[in-house]
Chains A and B, each alone.
Chain A
Amino acid sequence: MEIDVGKDFYHRLANRDSHQGDGKFTAIDFRNRFLKSLDNENAWLTDTEPIVLDFANVKKIGPSFANEAFAYFTKYASPEKLSKKIVFKNATRVQRMIIQEELETGHKRV
C-alpha cells in the first residue's frame, strides 16, 4: 500500500492532536486513517507488505507529529522493525532525521 501523504492527507504535518496548533490534520487523525491496521500486536508478528508513505509533497513534518503518528508504534516494535513496516519514501534528509529521532526516543504520551 502506498500513500501520497501530501495529497491524500496534508502537506504540513505539524499537529500532534486537536490541542496543538489549529488542531487540524493531526497525527492521531493520520494514524487512525492510514496506520490503523498496525495498531495491534498481531500486525507486528507477521511479515506483511510494508505501508509506503510518500513524502514527496510534504513540506513540513514536526517532531510531535512524528512522535504521535509513528513513535506511537514503538510500544509494539523496535525502531528498526518499525522502519521495515512503514517505509518513508522521498523524505528529505532532515525529515528522516526528525522521524528517526522520534522513533529512537519513543512515544512521549500515553
Chain B
Amino acid sequence: MFNKIPKSVAIPSLIVFLITAYLLFNPFIFRDINTIIYPRHINDLQTARNYYQILSSVLTILFSIVGLILGYFYYINKIETDANNAKRERIRKRLDSLIAELNEYDDLVNTISCLNVKDKGELKFIRNKINRSSEQISSQLEQGDTLFGLSKDEIKTIIRIHSFVEQNPFLMEVDYDELIKSDQSLIWIIKNDYTERMQEARRICYCKLE
C-alpha cells in the first residue's frame, strides 16, 4: 500500500519520528552524562507536566500534517492500484474471449483434418465458419492489440495460424471427394504442423493471463 511513498516524504517522516522519540525521552536521557546536550532541567512535576503538554500540542499538529501527507499518497496510490486492477480485468476478459475464439477455430480445423465431415455442404459450411472465425480473431487483435499487451511477433504468431490453414489446399480448397481420399500420412503431417502453431498461439495467450 505504501510501497510508492517517495523518498521526499519517507525521509522527513523518519526524521519527525526520531525527533519525536528524542523529545519524548529527552527528560530521562543524558541527565547524568552531559548536561550540555540536555536542554532543560525538569526538577518537579509541574515543569514535567508543562513540558509534555507543550510537546503534546506540537506533536499533534506535526502528526496531523504527516497524516494528511501520507493520506494523500495513500489516496493517489489507491486510485493507481484500482486503475491497474481494472486494466488487468479488461485484459483478462479480452484474452478469455480470444482464447474462446481460438478454441472454436481449432475445433473447426480439427473437424476437417480428422475427416469428420459428412458431405460437400458441411465441408463448405465449416470452411466458411473457419474464415469467419479468423476474421473474428483478426478484429479482436485489431481492437485490443495494445490492451492485450501482445508484441508484434506474438500477434504475428497468431496470424500465421490462419495463413497456414487458408493456404493449405487440403484444409481449405480440395473438394469433398478428394479430401476423403487424401493420403493419411500427409494429413498427419499437416495436423502436426497446425497443432504446433495453435499450441504456440495458446501459450502466448495463457502467458498474458499471468
Residues of A within 8 A of B (CB): 14, 16, 19-21, 60, 62-64, 67, 92-94, 97-98, 101-102, 105, 108
Stretch at the interface among B36-44, B82-90, B111-119, B153-161: B153-161
Q: Is B172 an interface position by the 8 A CB rule?
A: yes
In the complex with contacts A19-B173, A20-B172, A62-B131, A97-B155 CB distance below 8 A: yes
A97: contacting residue among B156, B166, B167, CB under 8 A: B156
- Check B167 against A63 for contact (C-beta < 8 Å): yes
Please, which residue of chain A has its CB at the minimum distance from the CB of B127?
A21
Contact A93 B167, beta carbon cutoff 8 Å? no
- Verify A97–B159 contact, CB threshold 8 A: yes
Contact A21 B159 (CB under 8 A): no
Are B163 and A101 interface neighbours, CB within 8 A?
yes
Residue B77 lies at the interface, judged by CB distance under 8 Å to chain A? no
Q: Number of contacts between A and B (CB, 8 Å)?
A: 46
| B152 interface contact, C-beta 8 A | yes
Q: Does B142 sit within 8 A of A, measured CB to CB?
A: yes
Establish whether residues A94 and B159, one from each chain, have CB atoms under 8 Å apart when the complex forms.
yes
Name the B residues within 8 Å of A98 (CB-CB).
138, 159, 163
User: Knowing A102-B163, A108-B167 touch, does A94 contact B131 (C-beta < 8 A)?
Assistant: no
Q: Judging by beta carbons under 8 Å apart, are A94 and B163 in contact?
A: no
Residues of the A chain whose Cβ atoms lie less than 8 Å from the Cβ of B134: 62
A and B contact pairs by CB, cutoff 8 A, 5 listed: A20-B172, A62-B134, A64-B172, A67-B167, A94-B159
Check A101 against B156 for contact (C-beta < 8 Å).
yes
CA distance A12 to B64 in the complex (A): 66
Q: Is B106 an interface residue (CB 8 A)?
A: no
For B134, B155, B160, B167, which residue has the most chain A Cβ atoms within 10 angstroms? B167
Given A92-B142, A94-B145, A102-B163, 10 more contacts at CB 8 Å? A19-B173, A20-B172, A60-B138, A62-B134, A93-B145, A94-B138, A94-B159, A97-B152, A101-B159, A101-B160
